[in-house]
Copies of this chain bind each other. A is one copy, B any other.
Amino acid sequence: DHIIICGYGRNGKQAAKKLLNYKKSFVIIEQDKAIIDKHQTEDILFVLGNANEDELLLEAGVDRASTLISALPSDADNLFVVLSARQINKNLTIISRASEETSYKKLKLAGANNVILPDRIGGDHMASLVVVPDLIEFIDNLSIVGESNINIEEIHVNKLYNVRANVKTIKDLDLRNKTGCSVIGFKGSNGDYVVNPEAETKLVPNSKVIVLGRPEQIKKLNIIYNLD
């Protein structure tokens, strides 16, 4: 139930750094021995070799992993890894990097669940900085992952009240009065999202709410409802 990261370049390194912050266990496949030697002292598990070989993927435990992140510099190499990993493990969540727009569909066809184009995200970000600079500053400063200072959380409604007894609405929960947090989103049991849901929205079993708050409010919410 671990994560495999293929490639410890700029992209893979940043993903690893974030996962380390979140105390997730992962192993990195990297073919450059010099890179591994350089980071040997850190608390990171490396497998030396080419992620394009099935033996290496198996050595990293691809058959029992939960997630694979393919962050190699070449789109062709990522495609090869995605296809190989999907063949071995049907239940794996596969996230791949891509440089070219045209690789997006190919990687999806090969079995990737998510494809990330760093230059597209970067370009979007630059344009947004021009058009809505304050908004971007606000959103960039929202913290969604980490140990503390979290601003947004997604919560199963099952954790907020006894869904088997009666179905409550967002209003019934009264999160704003109890914790200070605001409900900004709702994900129905069918997977559909509602932004800024109505107070009357019914919190059916297996739905989720997305809440926004200052760190102290999020902390209060976690304590009151005994979340993680």
Contacts and interface: CB of A to CB of B under 8 A. Distances in A.
A125 interface: yes
A50 B196 CA distance: 47
A193 B141 contact: yes
Given A116-B122, A119-B9, A18 B214 contact: no
A128 B93 CA distance: 13
A102 B181 CA distance: 38
B210 A119 contact: no
Contact of A15 (B93, B123, B184): B123
B214 A122 contact: no
A145 B123 contact: no
Q: Which range holds the interface residue count of chain A?
A: 35 or more
A14 to B, nearest CB: 3
A205 interface: no
Given A71-B123, A132-B154, A196-B212, 14 more contacts: A14-B124, A15-B127, A19-B127, A22-B127, A93-B130, A95-B126, A95-B130, A118-B119, A131-B145, A132-B145, A138-B185, A138-B193, A194-B214, A196-B217
Interface of A: 3, 9-19, 22, 24, 67, 69, 71, 93, 95, 97, 99-101, 114, 116-139, 141-142, 144-145, 151-154, 180-182, 184-185, 187, 193-196, 208, 210, 212-214, 217
